[in-house]
Structure 1
């Protein structure tokens, strides 16, 4: 099945590219000529320079990374409801005293390897609430807890495949068949990934979403991540109160050698005091008898369980994260502070705690600055996580 779909996808891309010049060459009674379509095209340039410093127990040296991401994004205008998109990223390390993922080094890891990458390359059809995209593209679902782009890293995670979306009134549905994941290290991660997300907007203050993710990895080394996940999400506001809740169930899929079932729970409650919003939350990535735990391999995991990235893979004993966030805005500076307390789902293990701080300032629509820090303190002896401090200073420019 996978081979058939992959060939169909490639054939569709090739046919659309070959047809595009002749299709754009003339005008129709209802559409635009190639000249008009091209005149509606956009070209955007995005630059992001970032310093990341890491002090991690167990590593002989501290990491220092000064990287620059240069991105160019081109989107054509629409002709007969078809358009094309291309996005290329280049990551340069001006200071490279750090290890990249998978590298044995005396330095801690900073997951920003150098290189040039085609981030997106797609053909899109859009008409009357329906859209279909074929090729390499972003797929971001809900809060990105299960499917995301890892946009914090300099090289983004994008997806190769076919995506269809339909919206009618308050309801929308989103389905993707993905055959390859373009990871943040530019590695190709192949398999069959079916991603379904449906949303219903009750009103402006209350939203529901349901999702199903069937992941079947091709390489045996990734079989442990093959899983079936089904769940739901709710976001609500009651005046100055806010409530977010999510529940999901996960089990093994494909050639995963582990026969397991695990639960995911997230509950948040917050209050807007005017200048400051305070949010308290609980997140559980459950474990099946301490042998294997709920995992989210396609998520933007940096957003969750602490910015020190100590829990990018869920410990087999599971993970409980009790957190408290305060955030606000003062003189144009947006700020947030979060405290996390980590423990296991099975075995009563103390996984430590973390404090995360961030401040951002947007000078205008083109330029912005960010300062961010994470301080993780380890818990019980014998766990894999060690004391870690991280600091980021970032400048962005877009044109």
Structure 2
């Protein structure tokens, strides 16, 4: 692994910077998050400001590189995973500064290779994602390959040497900072006609720090899309099987499925959904490299699947107004165990809106009502974001 990281640094240093075209990339996000969790005596509040700044170097149509850092400052009373305030609810946006990405890339025709610390997302990010909702995103020390075989067929592969997690480099728990891996991810995407899309994937996840987290997952996803401003049905369906892998001392096989029919009308879309993460009472299907906040409710009660598994059923309505400048969403979730008992229910709502020409505003709300799992929790966010 040291050789891998040393090789990444060498590759970034080899090209002559003076010969490159250089452009700046930046993003600023200001957020206030308030959490009321009945498992704690006091509420939590965090105001965080993130600056992400990068320089992209382009030498030719084939060669490019990116160096990107980010810094976060925070105020308020909360547990960020690094400040030791364990008597308060968690808001995992810790202060600090670190390298977010540092990679070199080559592309020719429909082929592309990227080596170094990078953002990697596959599909809907249920299995591999960057957890972009948190101020400190998840990135990977990785080699990623992509091949655009033809107009309707794409093949992707990635090997992950290390994952840098959202808790940052200062987290008290070293396993929350980063994990040493030897993980292989395969993704094949095929479009059939104008609306149908098929994805087949395999994730061979070898966690070298926590052997019981090593899993092999393979699956298939099919979805349909509608053209903008058209009325009618669409659907997304996915099935996967997860087993123990590598040196995992446990033995299990868990099923996963997700089905989400939808109907679009005017400028709104209504959705029904059912997602199943299997469990046997002692162990359950897990998605440790996913963008977790996007799934199973914004209160984040199920980032780690309980041992009894999870059945999440939901109703959602989303849409846009004012030529797409206002974006809104309302959803209701019902959570149950795969084996035994109820968990609870949750309401989610959000409104995105412009503030001037270059700033995006967001108000977001989550309300989890416990019914056998965890405690009642309410979260509220106010956010402004600038980017280039």
Aligned equivalent of 1:341: 334
- So what's the TM-score if we normalise by structure 2? 0.92
2:14 matches 1:19: yes
Q: Supply the distance in 2 between the matched residues of 1:294 and 1:19 (Cα, whole angstroms).
A: 43
Where structure 2 has 5 or more consecutive residues not aligned to the other structure, the ranges are 169-176
| 2:12–2:103 Cα contact (<8 Å) kept | no
- 1:66 and 2:56 equivalent? no
Find 1:305's aligned residue among 249, 271, 296.
296
| Offset of residue 366 of structure 1 | 1.4
**How many angstroms apart in 1 are the aligned matches of 2:85 and 2:11?**
44
Question: Cα offset for 1:76?
Answer: 1.1
SS in 1 for 2:76: strand
TM-score for the superposition, normalised by structure 1: 0.90
Query: Could you list the runs of 4 or more consecutive aligned residues of structure 1 that deviate by over 4 angstroms after TM superposition?
Result: none
Q: How many residues are treated as equivalent by the alignment?
A: 372
**Residue 368 of structure 2 is aligned to residue 387 of structure 1:** no
Q: Please, which of 211, 220, 226 is the counterpart of residue 223 of structure 1?
A: 211
Mapped partners of 2:52, 2:311: distance in 1: 37
CA shift for structure 1 position 11: 5.4
Structure 1: distance between partners of 2:6 and 2:71: 28
Give 2:313's aligned residue.
322
Give me the whole-angstrom Cα distance separating, in 2, the residues matched to 1:57 and 1:19. 54
Q: How does 1:1-399 map to 2 (within 5 A)?
A: 7=3, 9-10=4-5, 12-21=7-16, 34=19, 37-38=20-21, 41-79=22-60, 81-93=62-74, 95-101=75-81, 103=84, 105-169=86-150, 170-186=152-168, 187-219=177-209, 222-237=210-225, 240-287=232-279, 289-331=280-322, 332-347=325-340, 349-380=341-372, 383=373, 385-399=374-388
Distance (Å, rounded) in 2 between the aligned partners of 1:365 and 1:230: 43
Residue 396 and residue 210 in structure 1: after superposition, are their counterparts in 2 closer, same or farther (change >3 A)?
same
Stretch deviating more after TM superposition (304-313 or 357-366): 357-366
Gaps of 5+ in 1: 26-33
CA contact (8 A) 2:182 2:208 kept: yes
Residue 388 and residue 42 in structure 1: after superposition, are their counterparts in 2 closer, same or farther (change >3 A)?
A: same
Deviation string for 1:94-149 (max 9, x for gaps)?
x2310023745221000101100111000100111111111000110000000000
Q: Displacement of 1:14 after TM fit? A: 4.4
Partner of 1:30: none
Which has the higher mean CA deviation after the structures are superposed, 189-198 or 49-58? Answer: 189-198
Bigger-Rg structure (1/2): 1
Residues 29-84 of structure 1 deviation map (CA, whole Å, 9 limit, x = unaligned)? xxxxx1xx32xx22022110000000000211110100000011211123361111
What is the CA–CA distance in structure 2 between the aligned matches of 1:206 and 1:198, rounded to whole Å? Answer: 14
Q: Note the C-alpha offset of 1:338.
A: 0.5
